[in-house]
Structures are given as C-alpha cells and as structure tokens.
Structure 1
Amino acid sequence: MEITDQERWARVKGRLRAEVGDDVYSSWFTRMDLEGVDKDTVRLSVPTRFLKSWVQSHYGDRVLNCWRAEEDKIQRIELTVRSAVLRSNTSKPAANGAAPACETRTAKPGADEPRQMTLHSAATNDALGGSPLDARLTFENFLIGRSNTLAHAAAKQVAVARRGDSVMFNPLYIHAGVGLGKTHLLHAVTWAGNAGGERKVLYLTAEKFMYGFVSALKTHTALAFKEALRGIDVLVIDDLQFLQGRNIQAEFCHTLNALIDAGRQVVIAADRPPTDLENLDDRVRSRLAGGLVVEMGPLGEELRLEILKARIAAARSHHESFEVPDEVVEFIAKSVTHNGRDLEGALNRLLAHSKLTGQPVTLEMAEREVRDLIRPQEPKRVKIEDIQRVVARQYNVSRSDLLSSRRTANVVRPRQVAMYLAKTLTLRSLPEIGRRFGGRDHTTVLHAVRKIEGLVGTDSSLADEIELLKRQLQE
C-alpha cells in the first residue's frame, strides 16, 4: 500500500527530530507544515519570515536530505510564509467570526468590549510598533479547562490591573507546547490592557524585538528604541525561545530589569520553562524564574470537545450546510490529542471534503481523513533536574552535593551516575550537562559517562541500580 505525502512528511519529521534533537526541533520545526509535493519539489510553509530565513540558512540542506532519504526523486525544497486561515481583519473584533486554532469559542453577541475600545486597543499597539494582533484572540473567546485555569487567571489579573496598582507577580512567564493557547492569552492581555486607554500595553514577538533592536543599531536610534520600550506599562513578549544573539539578549535583560525595577508589568510566553532556555544568559533565566512561572498542560478530552464544538459553530457561520455528527466529534476529541491546531486541522479536512465532494461527514470518512493526526503518546521527557533529584534521593546525598566541588567517594559515584543518566536519557550535549552540574567541563562529563558504562558491564548491582533509576524517571 502506497503511503501518503502526509505520512511521508511524518517520517521526515521523525528523522529531523532524531538528527537535531528535541530542543532544536521544537524551536524551529514544530510549526512547519507540508503544503504539497509537486514532482521533484516539496512545498513547506512556516508562520513567519524569520522562521523561513533561519530554516533556509541553517537547516535547508538537512531538510532536503531527510526528504531524499524517504523519496529519492525530491530535488528541491520550497519554503513559504503562510497566511492565517479565515483570519479576521485586525482592525475590528470578530463578533461571530471563526474561532482560532486552540481553546477558543465563538464570541457572544454583545461582547463586553465595544468596537470603539477594540479599535483603540489595536491602534495603541500599532502606534507603539507592536506585532500584529488577531481580533479573535480575546478573553471572551478563550475556553478554560483544568490545563489552563491558572494561566488564564494570572493573565486576566494582569489585564484588568490599573496604572499604579501593585504588581502581584512579575514577570508572568507562561510556557506550553505548540497549539495550547499561550499566544491567545498574550493577545487577550494586550487587547484588554489597551482597551481602557489608561495603560500602554505592547505585544512583541521575539522576532519583532530582534528586528527592532537591529534596525535601531543600523539607524543609530538605539537610545530612542530603549527609551520607548522602557516607557511601556505592560510589555508582552511571545516566543522567547527564538531570542538569539548576545547583544540582543543583553538588551532584553536590561529592558526586563528596568521595567521590573520600575514596577512595570512584563508578560512572557515560550515553549519551555526558563531553566530549559539554553540559549539565554543565566542572568535572564534567573530573572524569569523569579516571577510566576505557569505551565499550560495538554488539552483534556472535555476541553478538546468544547473546542471542536466552538470551531464547528464558527464554521457554520460561513458554511450553513456543514454538519458534523456527534459520534464524529467525539471520535476526533478522543483521537486527536496533541494540540488545538491539530483539532482545527481535522475539522478543516472534514469541511473541505464535505464541500468539495458534496458528501456528508461520516465516521468512516473522518477516520480516513484524520489518520495522520492520530499520534502515539509521546514518552515522558526527562529533565536533568529530575535526574539530579532522583539520584540524590537514591544515594542519600543532597542535590547541592552533586553540583558542588566535593570529591569524596559518597558524592563522586552518585554524580557520575547522574551525568551518565543525563547523557543517556536526554538529548543535552556534554557541555550543557557539565554546565548543569556546577559548571563542569565537558571532558569531566565524558569521563563519568565512560566510567559508568564500563562498570555497568561488570557490576551487576550497579546495573540494577541504574535500571531502577531509569524506571523511576520514565514513569
């Protein structure tokens, strides 16, 4: 049976993940979609020009080689920047428009924010040089479930605060995987914060921040750029994991410190917690971790069901004849579990099939159309901090002992075991592991790994201990 292009694309992504590692893959490839395959050319798309430029210059050959490993006739990769599907005009709210990809509902008639306030909010953000806002991404359109309750409450608290109010948690740092609603919350904070006209709220992607800083350096307006940012009441930064460059990171750190010290609010979103942002300076990560760090977890089945119902209702406002049986909705909610964008993708396929073929949506058709979106449960991602904690408990030492310079026998062996597990259970490089263990050199880590590898083959009791620790970490 011949595999489909989407199935082949899934294999290519698997090869890419194996070659570049989880961190690089999640930063640069999770938002890359397959648009089609035309003879010897593969057409891929990404959401921003920055991603397109970065992937083309740093990973273009690697993506092509992974495709050729699956299909040797492929000779060229064509990368484009895609536009949002059914995107509303950002200058006005979508009262009954299409719900966005994740955790949204159709806006209710008579929404709390009148049109004039929304126009003012958009104009304020644009005047400040902010990134574009999507008028659908408001608090009214955000669906709340167990996985996002705290993040929503914290974001709402920031949005409704008034100038002069004491800042409860600063910075507010929200992290989540792709398509779980963090960008929605940041847009909502910006819309609501600017609506009152009292505060200046600026929404920037990391790409926009970098572009603004580099442009200011080129035009010799860096001082004006810094002063403009530090005059903001609430600074909202999205996709912080993309922040690159030592000078840019230093400027971000200075801006962050200046705003927080002045009692201004900072809200940040990224795809991982601050401690896992390996490309950021230690000072920045420490400052970020000192605020309120909130994780938005995977979507529960009930929340996925609500999202699907809201998305179907939004689609019916454009296509009145679009009907999806309850059994199909329940099947998708149970089967498509990865994120909200996959849910929207599943419904888009059903809508396209129904409109183009004129056939009603059935369970059999749904099973066929969304099969590549049904992904196996990913194994638990092991963190170095978890390894250090579990090993310290097993050998009755403290985590600080593992990170210290002590070289007594009761500390050296557990430290070597922890380094060995960090190398075998994570995708971290030797220098990264060394830095996590008190700033040690990569050669120290390599020695520890080789030492434990040699002992495991001859010492059965140590081998049993290693297996026990692995099970504890992967459960």
Structure 2
Amino acid sequence: MKHGNSAGGGSGSSGTDYAAAWDRILKRLIAEFGHNVFQSWFARLKFDGIDNDSAILSVPTPFLRSWIRDNYQTRISAMWQEERAEVTGIDLRLRRPGQAAAQAEAVQEAKQAAKSRAEAIATEGRNRSSSSDGIPLDPRLTFDSFVAAPTNTLARAAANEIANAADGVAPRYNPLFIHGGVGRGKTHLLHAIAWEVRNKAPHRKVRLLSTDMFMLKFVSAARENDTVAFKTMLRTGDLLLIDDLQFLQGKSTHKEFGYTINALVESGKQIVVVADRPPARLEGFDERIKSRLAGGLALEVGAPDAVLRRDILDKRLEAVARDNPSLDLDEDVVAFIARNLSSNGRDIEGALNRLCHNAMHCSDKMTVEKAEMLMRDLMVARESRPVKIEWIQKIVSQVYKISRQDLVSERRTQAVVRPRQIAMYLCKTMTPRSLPDIGKRFGNRDHTTVLHAIRKIEGLISKDEMMRREIESLRRRIEDEADRDE
C-alpha cells in the first residue's frame, strides 16, 4: 500500500491500521445498505493506500467509478473520517489492466456476464407473456376496459392512434407524454397500447418498461461491461413504453434515457412516456431531455369527475357480477362510493373490492352507513385539506346571487331550490360530513332531503354538459377559498 506524507503518515499509523479501518468501513456499508446493494456497488471496491490525506480506492470500470462518485462518495468519505480523522476524503481511481487483481476481476466479471446471459436466455422463453423484455402485460388493461370521459379523451385518442398506426408511417407525435395524478389510467393506457399492437400487428416489437426495470437493466449491463446489448435491446424495437418516469434516478441513467429517446425519435420509432407531472417539472433531468419530451405531444389526464367515477364503478361491478351473480349492492351504496372517493380510480376500485368482499362474507345487508365505516381510511385523503360548509354556502350564494339566509330557508322557488341542491351536493362530495350533518346546516332538513338533492344533481350532471362544467367551476372556486384560508 502507498502512504504519502499526509496527516495519516505523520501520525505514525501503519498500513495495517488503515486496512483494518477499511475492513470496518466495509462491514458498516453492508449494515447500512444491505447485502444486495453491497454486492452490486462495493464488493469490487479496493483500498490501495493513503495519499495526501485521501484514501485511494479503485474500481474496475468507469461506470462503477461514476456511480459510486455520484451516489456514495460523500457517505464513504464520512465513514473514513469517523474511523480515521486524518483522512479527509477519498480518491476514486480505475484499476490498471496490468494489475493481477484486475486480471482476476476481469475473469470473474466475464464468468458472471456469461452466467447472466445464460440466465437471460433461459428466462426469455418464460417471459413470452411480457412486452418483449419488459414487464408482463395485465390482461385486464385494454382499450375496451378503459372508461372514457372528458378528463381523459385526448390521451385515450392519442394512445389509440399510436396503437393502430400503420407500418412505415412516421409517428405524428413523438414522444407522446401522458401525465396526471395517481390512479388516473396512465398505466392502463400503456398496457392497452401494447395489447392492441400485439393483437393487430404481432410482428412489431413493443417494450413496456417501468423505470425500476430500466434502471435495473442499465445498471446490470454497465456492471457487466455490456451496455451495447442494453442499448441494442432498447433501440431495435418499434415501440418503447416507459411507465412512471418521475422515479428515474441517477445522472448516468438520465443521460442514457436521453440518448435512447433521441436515437428512437431520429430513427422514426415511437415512444410513449407517462409520469405524474409535466416534462418541465421533472426533477434531475437535463433541460434538453425535458425539451425533447415536451416537443412531441404532452397531454394531461385529469382527476375523475362524478360521472367518470360512477362509470368506473359500473364497469367494475359488471366484471364482479360475472364471477359472483348473487352479489347485489344497493344503488345508494354505489352512489356513496362515487361521491366520496374522488381522489383516483385505484381508491375507487379498492373500495369496491372491500365492499364486495364484505357483502359476500357477511350476512348483514350492506348499507350506506356500513359502507362509510368500511371506507373511513380511504376517505382520509379528502380530509387533509378540509373544506368548510360555510365556504360552500358562501360561494354558491355569490354565484347564484341569493342570500345565505335564502339558501337555508324554507323557500321553495326554483331560483333558490336549485342552488340549495347544488350546495348540498358539493357539501357531500367535498367534505366528510354525513347526510344528517349537512341537513342540519341547511335549516335542519332531514337526511332524505339531502339525499334527494344529491341524486338530483348527479342526474343533471350525467345528462347536461353545461351543468357538469358549472359544478366543476364551483368546485375550483371553493378549493381556492380553502387555499386562501391556509
């Protein structure tokens, strides 16, 4: 080992002392990051001595050096200082090819690469149901099962056009970037595209990758010095689908993703990417990548409105009824789910699964009250930014130019009844209040009166586009009121 005229050398410490410190650091790395991470990144990290107050560490490949430098250098440096205060940092270097250790390392890496390729070949046959080296396709997620609504019409149309594009025709929008919150159908559209292409043009190569799989494949290829195969795998397909891009981490993987989309776009191959935010708000990505993603077609999938939530429930109930013909949920219970779980489609389906399971295994009839109790935890998200009934009454009174006293009065003129019904509907869909609670705030009305008002407005929304837009406009104004109050 090499020891320079450093603080470490001046302290009289021997190479054995530093080697012992390094052994302790390796054990701490295993304890802190786990065995799998250690084997991936630290097992081939060698301690080569101390020079100018720095610990010299070497690795066999440029990628490994870059990855450790970007992700772990600060932590390893801190561990060295905790073990040996005179060591102020680390110096990451590439091992020289002529070193015996490096030669042994190369032999081991070659064996590991051969083993990995053999395993990949053996696995390929088992993964025929996957999207050509990608994640397995979910048979439930097709265009037929996708519930269309004004909030997702444009995204669905673009996805359908891409799935049915003729061979040899240059992509109209490339890349297609679909963004929106959790549970709005973005992943559903990716699977639907893959299924449609597989059924109508099976000769076309489609790859559907999650960002986790993208990173795993890239890291594995880099670790085995086989990035050419990784690049070839990505760039020889006809259609690349990437899910949850916001989770892509690491400068190297970001850079490789940028190279990939540039290569595919320039060669006329289609790319579809989904994320939970628009390109401009992606964190850690180079501005050129954001520009490339925004330069195709970027579409937002909006939150499910009352009509869409009900359509999702009806379609899901049809599927459940095929397997369980005896299942029967009252209309009031189904409407309650659609009204109260407005955050995303997954929560809606999860709530329905929970209620169906309970209804099948409990003799008691499912009621709205019981459903509310079963779904209480799923409704917590709505309570994170509470909306007050006073705000709803205030906004509705202002918009319809009536007094708040009229809103809670016994007056039954049309000019008062309709705004009152709208206000009750908004109180139920935007607050966690029960029907009796809402009735009390509207002149001590009975809960059946509130329920009638809610059903009335739901019926109007399903038939009248102007009414739907009116309700959404009121909802936004009420949410703005909540924001100002925070």
Normalising by structure 1, we get a TM-score of: 0.53
The CA distance in 1 between the partners of 2:221 and 2:231, in whole Å, is 9
Cα distance in structure 2, aligned partners of 1:296 and 1:309:
20
Give me the whole-angstrom Cα distance separating, in 2, the residues matched to 1:165 and 1:240. Answer: 26
Aligned length: 267
Q: Which residue of 1 aligns with 2:143?
A: 139
Residue 352 in 1 paired to residue 374 in 2?
Answer: no
Alignment of 1:17-32 (within 5 A): none
Q: CA deviation at 1:239?
A: 0.6
| Paired residues for 1:62-73 under 5 Å | none
CA-CA distance at 1:358 after TM superposition: 1.9
Aligned equivalents of 1:377 and 1:185: distance in 2?
A: 30
* Residues 323 and 361, structure 1, Cα contact 8 Å, conserved in 2: no
2:385 maps to 1:376: no
Structure 1 residue aligned with 2:30: none
Q: Which has the higher helix share?
A: 2
- Residue 259 (structure 1) aligns with: 264
- Equivalent residue, structure 2, for 1:185: 189
Give the equivalent residue in structure 2 for 1:277.
282
Give per-residue Cα distances to partners, 1:153-202, cap 9 Å, x unaligned: 00001000022112111100000111110000000111112221242111
Partner of 1:396: none
User: CA separation in 2, counterparts of 1:368 and 1:290?
Assistant: 47
Once the 2 structures are TM-superposed, how far is the Cα of residue 125 of structure 1 from its aligned partner?
6.6
> In the aligned structure 2, how far is the partner of 1:280 from the partner of 1:126?
28
Correspondence for 2:155: 151
Aligned partners of 1:166, 1:198: CA distance in 2, in Å?
17
Ranked by relative contact order (alpha carbons within 8 Å, sequence separation 6 or more), the top structure is 1
Residue identity opposite 2:153 in structure 1: T
3-state SS of paired residue (2:130) = helix
Which AA in structure 2 matches 1:180?
Answer: R
- State the SS of the aligned residue for 1:139: coil
1:140 is paired with a residue whose SS is coil
What secondary structure, in the 3-state scheme, does the structure 2 residue paired with 1:268 have?
strand
Report the Cα distance in structure 2 between the residues aligned to 1:342 and 1:127, rounded to whole angstroms: 27
Distance change >3 Å, CA 239–CA 256, structure 1 → 2:
same
DSSP-derived class of the 1:317 partner: helix
Could you say which residue in structure 1 is the equivalent of 2:320?
315
Distance of 1:312 and 1:473 partners within structure 2: 36
Q: Residues of 1 paired with 2:370 and 2:211: CA distance?
A: 41
Question: 1:108-187, aligned counterparts within 5 Å?
Answer: 126=130, 128-187=132-191
**Mapped pair 1:212 → 2:217:** yes
1:191 is matched by which residue type in structure 2? W
Preserved contact between residue 182 and residue 344 of structure 2 (Cα < 8 Å)? yes
Once the two structures are superposed, what CA deviation does each residue of 1:230-286 show, in whole Å capped at 9, x if it has no partner? 111110000101101111111110010000011111000001111111121222111
Amino acid at match of 1:272: R
Q: How does 1:265-304 map onto structure 2 within 5 Å? A: 265-304=270-309
Partner Cα distance (2:191, 2:358) in 1: 32
2:383, 2:303 → 1: CA distance? Answer: 12
SS in 2 for 1:236: strand
- Bigger CA radius of gyration: 2
The 8 Å contact of residues 163 and 198 in structure 1, kept in 2 or not, is answered as no
Separation in structure 2 between the aligned mates of residue 378 and residue 263 of structure 1, nearest angstrom = 46
Check conservation: 1:162, 1:199, Cα contact below 8 A. no
Counterparts of 1:295-444 in structure 2, within 5 Å, are 295-374=300-379, 375-376=381-382
Q: Which amino acid aligns with 1:244?
A: Q
CA positional deviation for 1:360: 1.9
Alignment match, 1:387: none
Please list the CA deviations of residues 412-442 of structure 1 after superposition, one character each: whole Å capped at 9, or x if unmatched: xxxxxxxxxxxxxxxxxxxxxxxxxxxxxxx
The whole-number CA distance in structure 2 between the counterparts of 1:193 and 1:162 is 10
How much does 1:319 deviate?
2.1
Question: How far apart, in 2, do the equivalents of 1:253 and 1:151 lie?
Answer: 23
Structure 1: gaps (5+ residues): 1-56, 59-121, 381-469
Please list every run of 5 or more consecutive structure 2 residues that lacks an aligned counterpart in the other structure: 1-70, 73-125, 387-479
